[in-house]
Amino acid sequence: MKIIFFGSSRFGYPALKKLIESCYQIPLVVTQPDRLKGRGMKFGSTQIKELAEQAQLKVFQPEDINSPEAVNTLKKYQPDLFVIIAYGQKFSAEVLNIPSIVPINVHASLLPKYRGAAPINWAIINGDRLTGNTVMKVVPRMDAGPMILQNQIAITPDDDALSLDEKLSEDSAILLLKAINLIESQKFELIPQDDSLSTMAPKLSTTIAKIDWYLPALKIHNLVRGCVNWSSAFTKLNGKILKIYKTRLESKESRSSDVVPGQVLTVSPKGIIVACGNGSLSLQELHLEGKSRLTAGEFLSGNKINLGEKLG
């Protein structure tokens, strides 16, 4: 069976590695074009491209996967299967009709929940305790295709978007191989999604990531956990952007009635405790605009925060 693999982010790396190790015929790996990266703004390739080249696989990097050139290139390989994982471009119906069997995708949620670009982030932000991966047939409508397999993964209280991404990435490779085995043996079923149960997981933005200290401490804590692999949740300190990377929920404390959300309650190397709409949070890792990411103790050695000062 000939498989064309599409992927651009680190999330698809374990899946491609498993496919290579399983000796599937992969005539082509498609990934995004090289982009300028880092402070030096040098061209860098995706990790998918690097892995493909190490395995001496042919790599294709079209700016537009639906262009006539890209369509002709894909057709030339006469693939049986498309495997698409975090590729980064939408596919036309013409492209999706190229494989002789089916185009499949691994999506990091239990569909139909969290269709869209940021399912892992939103599962954390919303305080979910369970998520997973879904292998589905790709259709032109985003993440709406019929499902082949799902697997559930628990979200622990210590998970953030980075750790959960790693768990789901490793699981996606195992689930993908199971799905391909079912397809090879012609034992797979296409299970329609219930659109009435669908929810969306749009890209994160500064509007979403801005901390509202009037929210309960748990909601802000989940926002911080859910934004760490995007940029970060943030607030302001003396007019400068203060990014928050790690927080700890504090037990309920008695506080005077004149305390307002966002007000600094305690300043200590162990954490900077801030009042929320309900409860309080200890800021553990922070990054003030123009400086480095630091623990609370490191931060306080070079920056002053006064008791009673208000963030936001």
Tell me the pLDDT tens digit for each residue of 225-282: 999 999 999 999 999 999 999 999 997 666 777 899 999 999 999 999 999 999 999 9
Identify whether 309 is part of a domain.
no
Q: Note the pLDDT tens digit of each residue in 50-99.
A: 999 999 999 999 999 999 999 999 999 999 999 999 999 999 999 999 99
Half-sphere exposure of 232 (CA within 13 A, CB side): 16
User: Total structural domains in the chain?
Assistant: 2
Residue 39 has what pLDDT?
A: 62
Identify whether 308 is part of a domain.
no
Please give the structure tokens belonging to residue 300.
């306080």
Residue 251 has what pLDDT?
A: 79
Please check whether residues 108 and 176 belong to one and the same domain.
Answer: yes
Q: Pick the last residue of a domain from 149, 172, 197.
A: 197
Please check whether residues 127 and 165 belong to one and the same domain.
Answer: yes
Q: Which domain holds residue 235?
A: 206-302
- 3-state secondary structure at position 27: strand
Q: Is the model's pLDDT at 175 over the cut of 90?
A: yes
Identify whether 247 is part of a domain.
yes
Percent of the chain with pLDDT over 70: 98
Residue 254 has what pLDDT?
A: 62
Identify whether 174 is part of a domain.
yes
Q: Pick the last residue of a domain from 197, 219, 240.
A: 197
Please check whether residues 185 and 241 belong to one and the same domain.
Answer: no
Please check whether residues 179 and 132 belong to one and the same domain.
Answer: yes
Residue 256 has what pLDDT?
A: 72
Q: Note the pLDDT tens digit of each residue in 38-47.
A: 666 677 899 9
Please check whether residues 170 and 214 belong to one and the same domain.
Answer: no
For residues 105-123, give the mean pLDDT.
Answer: 98
Please check whether residues 158 and 9 belong to one and the same domain.
Answer: yes
Please give the structure tokens belonging to residue 257.
């009635």
Identify whether 310 is part of a domain.
no
Percent of the chain with pLDDT over 90: 93
With contact defined as beta carbons under 8 Å apart, do 135 and 106 qualify? yes
Please check whether residues 17 and 101 belong to one and the same domain.
Answer: yes
Q: Note the pLDDT tens digit of each residue in 120-145.
A: 999 999 999 999 999 999 999 999 99
With contact defined as beta carbons under 8 Å apart, do 65 and 46 qualify? no
Please check whether residues 185 and 67 belong to one and the same domain.
Answer: yes
Residue 77 has what pLDDT?
A: 98
